[in-house]
Chains A and B, each alone.
Chain A
Amino acid sequence: MTSIRGTVLAVGAAVSVAALSACKSGNAQQRDTARAREGVQPKTQVASRPGSTPAESAAVLPAGALSTQGTGEWWMPGRDYSGSRYSTLNDINTSNVANLKVTTTFSTGVLHGHEGQPLVVGTTMYVVTPYPNLLYAIDLTKPGGVLRWVYTPPTSSRAVGIACCDIINRGAVYADGKIIYNTLDAQTVAVNASTGKEVWRVRVGDINIGETITGAPLVVKGKVIVGNSGAELGVRGYVIALDVGSGKQVWKAYSTGPDADVLIGPEFKPFYARDRGTDLGVKTWTKDQWKLGGGTVWGWISYDPETNTLFYSTANPGVWNPDLRPGDNKWSITLFARDPDNGHAKWAYQFVKHDAWDYDEIMENVLVDMPFNGQQRKLLIHPGRTGFVYTFDRTTGELLNAEKYQPTNWATRVDTKTGETTEEPSKRTHEGVVTRDICPSSTGAKDQQPSAFSLRTGLLYIPAHNVCMDYEGVEANYIAGTPYLGASVKMFPGPGGYRGELVAWDPVHAKTVCSVKEDLPLWSGVLATAGDVVFYGTMDGWFRAIDAHTCAQLWSFKTGSGIIGNPIAYRGPDGKEYIAVYSGIGGWMGAVAFPDVSIDDPYTALGVAGAVPDIKQKTGMGGMLYVFSL
């Protein structure tokens, strides 16, 4: 076997997919090697594996496909624990992807933002819709796919009004014979994957205080890991672990507050001195503000079975006006490494101290093992909202490099020796002070839409934005009968004449290898496959395939609505490779496309209208699953 370029941590199997030092050439021989390997049972098992319960109905979930995820399946949001979004399937590859055709479509009946991705378990596909959070099971053995059942969770419609509007959902996870996901009104539900019957349902958060859940759970060692949303309503962020069998709480780790609440103990060993100390979740705030501290966990969760470590990062600090909350405001905008057994923190790294831009770092943390400066290392790659891609040694929390991947001027560099970021003081916002041309804007160089990592190229494919902002004066505002003045922020396209870019990032040399510039910001996730094809969608509905080595466009198809979902690859019951993606504009920026949303409304989509004022002309609402094959 040739030297290992990269390894992701697969579910139930340490798939040491090798691939190839000279990967950039991507020749046919290598592809054949990968093909031969695909489908071969992995020899090594990881210590833990989800879903060891045999199927209740072998017809739906063939035995043998259950204890470990097959190469053609997609059991969890990022496909594997690493969050790689890499499929080892390669029937669809650079030489034939131009022939990709729509095989089937399915309307979810919900005209709203479709973030997230479907799952494929055995011969069934599972689709979770935006609120009201229906779960569809689609039988893939029938031509065109036939609906097997629909599960409708009891959700509080009043809650939606209180939560004020969010109705997106980022998907489900399969484990223990169950499809498990979160509802907007802050419940977690587990549904029998065969029958569609609810197994358990628990209320995780309280909608009355503004808690919602939009993120997807992950199941690790018999625990369902769930994070909350709602930082803007003063919600205090946390991650909770529920027993996969019963839904009962096992542990809960807050993002702010005393160490006892954050589950920080003697085993907590941050790499940098800046993140060490006692009760920093209280001491780095003024008075009781940590109780409104934000730091919610609404993004992606990943897991390293080898070191038994969970990884996720937290949102921005709670209340606005950074001048009001002097201090670092820990643990907002922080990457946490935790032991999934008891939730205890192993290390943490705060990306941005004392946030003044809303750089909400809930982005994915992709785990890969690959050679780094001549040494095989366990990496964690975090493409940041801040405009930097951060590469860590995930065993220690040491930052190995952090470089910019989009126009970024709020900071000049990140020092890997100290972990500190050198800010540009003129770009730090203060209430009552006009600050112009801050890049990136609060939407970040990317938002929640997840990247994909190719084991064959060793590159991370990042869906990026290029949007900047001015922070201006004040305007009359009004909540709960109470008038007040709010600052006004204006977003606009960043320099360079493009608003979106698919960036192929080399995490070792910390540089862009190739890229595709797009007119609109990219709000879809990315899929990379062993066929050396990278898939992503655009906000105006184009679904594209590019060459993983050169970024050359190989294929493009216009779906009915803007794409903000994340593509997946799977092998159908007929043995063929399929690619699936949602089409349905929405999300933060995408909401500007809705007909009832005026771009003159200052609340519209929270200010991003200035970044995409043209989107109404380019797409309309939708809610479709598209499936493609050769």
Chain B
Amino acid sequence: MSSASSRAGRGARKARLTISLGTELAVLALPVVLFALLVSGSAPEQAHATNATSAPPKLQTLRVCADPNNMPFSNERQQGFENRIASLIAHDLGVPVQYTWWPERRGFVRNTLEARSCDVVMQVPASYELTEHTAPYYRSTYVFVTRADRHLAIESFDDPALRHLRIGIHMMGDDYANSPAASALARRGLAAQIVPFMIYGDYSQPDPPARIIRAVATDSIDVAVAWGPLAGYFAKRSPVRLALTPVTPASREFAFSMAMGVRHGDSTMRAVLDTELARRRADIRRILEDYGVPLVESSQR
């Protein structure tokens, strides 16, 4: 009865798992295959066959997986920078863009890209394991967001002023994972200063993660630590002037290079996108700047 155990053990050592271990979410992690079958009717024909592609037909449609409610990245009205970049690339390729909308949460890749209802996730961290990815096309950083009229000028988690401030951070809600700000503050004994904002927020509201930026404007927190693109976009639209300062020193913990994600093994799509990214480098940079994305040079990956 136990003959398989040692084999299982080796298997386990091979598979490195980022876990969000969990409790009922554990169960929540069940893929929504059934959901796809029953509700959307978009049952993947090919199950999990990989590397099945040879001599693929010419691209007919740029099929993009995206969140319908998450500016500045994407929304159903296609107002995000991911939408803009997708349109740019599709235009070059002479094909239409088709979206599969899904909230960008646990199960996103599995239920969209892996379910083959779309072929590109417009951005993922360049060291993300769930997808294969293109060369990185931008790099940004977590930033401190404060009201400009407060003149707090916080640049580092070592700033003593933090000891007396209400610090808003996003909570990822995964076991074993959280915002890098959470650990930076915990390490410095500043956990008591944290005001938590679930990154998921209330999905019935527009752009749920943006609530943290509005909280700075309304003074319900003194400072927010947020991912640059989110902070940059909403700071630009804030009725109150907000100041953004990158978290320093920039480290692997706070700065991330972002690439486009494709299915593992889909080298054709990856090559198409890499060519486009190289060709449209300047245009893409302009789009990102339009959206207020704080860009940092990629000295390291």
The answer on a CB contact under 8 Å between B125 and A477 is yes
CA separation between A160 and B31, bound complex, in Å?
Answer: 10
Instruction: Say yes or no for A606: interface residue by CB 8 A criterion.
Output: yes
CA separation between A488 and B202, bound complex, in Å?
Answer: 28
Instruction: Say yes or no for B60: interface residue by CB 8 A criterion.
Output: no
Instruction: Say yes or no for A607: interface residue by CB 8 A criterion.
Output: yes
The answer on a CB contact under 8 Å between B204 and A166 is no
Instruction: Say yes or no for B39: interface residue by CB 8 A criterion.
Output: yes
Instruction: Say yes or no for B148: interface residue by CB 8 A criterion.
Output: no
User: What's the nearest-Cβ distance from chain B to residue A301, in Å?
Assistant: 15
The answer on a CB contact under 8 Å between B110 and A431 is no
The answer on a CB contact under 8 Å between B18 and A475 is yes
The answer on a CB contact under 8 Å between B13 and A490 is yes
User: What's the nearest-Cβ distance from chain A to residue B149, in Å?
Assistant: 25
Assuming A165-B28, A320-B175, A486-B177, is B8 touching A480 (CB within 8 A)? no
Report B67-83 CB contacts with A as 1/0, cut-off 8 Å.
10010011000000000
Instruction: Say yes or no for B16: interface residue by CB 8 A criterion.
Output: yes
Of all chain A residues, which has the CB nearest B28?
Answer: A166
Instruction: Say yes or no for A349: interface residue by CB 8 A criterion.
Output: no
The answer on a CB contact under 8 Å between B200 and A234 is yes
User: What's the nearest-Cβ distance from chain A to residue B79, in Å?
Assistant: 14
Which of B12, B27, B31, B123 has most A Cβ within 10 Å? B27
The answer on a CB contact under 8 Å between A164 and B105 is yes
The answer on a CB contact under 8 Å between A486 and B174 is yes
Interface residues of A in 334-367 (CB under 8 A from B): 358, 360, 362
CA separation between A490 and B185, bound complex, in Å?
Answer: 26
Assuming A360-B22, A493-B12, is B256 touching A476 (CB within 8 A)? yes
Residues of A within 8 A of B19 (CB): 442, 486-489, 602, 606-607
Residues of B within 8 A of A113 (CB): 27, 30
The answer on a CB contact under 8 Å between A165 and B7 is no
CA separation between A496 and B5, bound complex, in Å?
Answer: 9
Cross-chain contact of A591 among B30, B109, B127 (Cβ < 8 A) = B30
Interface residues of A toward B: which range?
35 or more
User: What's the nearest-Cβ distance from chain A to residue B78, in Å?
Assistant: 15
Q: Is the interface of A mostly helix, strand, loop or mixed?
A: loop
Cross-chain contact of B47 among A292, A595, A614 (Cβ < 8 A) = A595
Report A472-513 CB contacts with B as 1/0, cut-off 8 Å.
100111111111111111111100111100000000000000
User: What's the nearest-Cβ distance from chain A to residue B23, in Å?
Assistant: 4
Interface residues of A in 108-142 (CB under 8 A from B): 110-113, 115, 130-132
Instruction: Say yes or no for A574: interface residue by CB 8 A criterion.
Output: no
Residues of B within 8 A of A315 (CB): 23-24
Report A397-431 CB contacts with B as 1/0, cut-off 8 Å.
00000000000000000000000000000000001
Q: Which of B150-158, B186-194, B235-243, B267-275 contacts A (4 or more CB under 8 A)?
A: B186-194
CA separation between A115 and B28, bound complex, in Å?
Answer: 13
Q: Which of B85-93, B165-173, B278-286 contacts A (4 or more CB under 8 A)?
A: B165-173
Cross-chain contact of A597 among B31, B191, B199, B229 (Cβ < 8 A) = B31
Of all chain A residues, which has the CB nearest B128?
Answer: A476
Assuming A296-B24, A431-B186, is B178 touching A484 (CB within 8 A)? yes
The answer on a CB contact under 8 Å between B34 and A167 is yes
The answer on a CB contact under 8 Å between B32 and A319 is no
The answer on a CB contact under 8 Å between B27 and A319 is no
Interface residues of B in 1-55 (CB under 8 A from A): 1-9, 11-35, 38-40, 44, 47-48
Residues of B within 8 A of A596 (CB): 31, 33, 44, 47-48, 110, 114-115
Report A293-307 CB contacts with B as 1/0, cut-off 8 Å.
010101000000000
The answer on a CB contact under 8 Å between B21 and A286 is no
The answer on a CB contact under 8 Å between A165 and B175 is no
Assuming A161-B103, A490-B15, A602-B129, is B3 touching A232 (CB within 8 A)? no
Q: Report the interface size for chain B: residues with CB under 8 A from the other chain.
A: 102
The answer on a CB contact under 8 Å between A232 and B4 is no
CA separation between A522 and B256, bound complex, in Å?
Answer: 41
The answer on a CB contact under 8 Å between B171 and A208 is no
User: What's the nearest-Cβ distance from chain A to residue B250, in Å?
Assistant: 14
Interface residues of B in 121-135 (CB under 8 A from A): 123-130
CA separation between A162 and B111, bound complex, in Å?
Answer: 12
Instruction: Say yes or no for B107: interface residue by CB 8 A criterion.
Output: yes
Report A580-611 CB contacts with B as 1/0, cut-off 8 Å.
00000011100100111111111111111111
Instruction: Say yes or no for A323: interface residue by CB 8 A criterion.
Output: yes
CA separation between A94 and B203, bound complex, in Å?
Answer: 55
Instruction: Say yes or no for A55: interface residue by CB 8 A criterion.
Output: no
Of all chain B residues, which has the CB nearest A213?
Answer: B24
The answer on a CB contact under 8 Å between A166 and B103 is no
Instruction: Say yes or no for A577: interface residue by CB 8 A criterion.
Output: no
The answer on a CB contact under 8 Å between B27 and A166 is yes
Residues of B within 8 A of A610 (CB): 11-13, 15, 17
Instruction: Say yes or no for B137: interface residue by CB 8 A criterion.
Output: no
The answer on a CB contact under 8 Å between A164 and B12 is no
Interface residues of A in 443-499 (CB under 8 A from B): 443, 447-448, 471-472, 475-493, 496-499
The answer on a CB contact under 8 Å between A484 and B130 is no
The answer on a CB contact under 8 Å between A480 and B178 is no
Assuming A597-B110, A599-B11, is B174 touching A286 (CB within 8 A)? no
Residues of B within 8 A of A162 (CB): 103, 105, 203
The answer on a CB contact under 8 Å between B35 and A602 is no
Residues of A within 8 A of B35 (CB): 131, 157, 160-161, 167
CA separation between A475 and B16, bound complex, in Å?
Answer: 10
The answer on a CB contact under 8 Å between B15 and A475 is no
Interface residues of A in 135-181 (CB under 8 A from B): 157, 160-168
Instruction: Say yes or no for A230: interface residue by CB 8 A criterion.
Output: yes
B interface list, Cβ under 8 A from A: 1-9, 11-35, 38-40, 44, 47-48, 67, 70, 73-74, 102-107, 109-111, 114-115, 123-130, 170-180, 182-183, 185-187, 191-196, 198-205, 208-209, 227, 229-230, 252-253, 256, 258
If A113-B30, A478-B104, A594-B31 are given as contacts, then 11 extra A-B residue pairs at C-beta distance below 8 Å, sorted by A number, are: A209-B200, A232-B175, A287-B192, A358-B23, A476-B129, A481-B230, A488-B16, A587-B26, A602-B17, A603-B20, A607-B17
Q: Give the 9 A-B CB pairs with smallest separation, nearest first.
A: A607-B19, A486-B177, A610-B12, A613-B11, A166-B28, A232-B25, A588-B26, A492-B12, A442-B21
Can you list 21 A-B contacts with CB-CB less than 8 angstroms, sorted by A residue number?
A112-B33, A161-B32, A162-B103, A164-B25, A164-B32, A164-B107, A209-B198, A210-B173, A234-B200, A292-B173, A315-B24, A320-B172, A478-B104, A481-B229, A483-B124, A486-B174, A490-B16, A596-B115, A602-B18, A603-B106, A606-B20
A interface list, Cβ under 8 A from B: 110-113, 115, 130-132, 157, 160-168, 206, 208-210, 212, 214, 229-234, 286-289, 291-292, 294, 296, 298, 315-316, 318-321, 323-326, 358, 360, 362, 431-432, 441-443, 447-448, 471-472, 475-493, 496-499, 517-519, 586-588, 591, 594-614
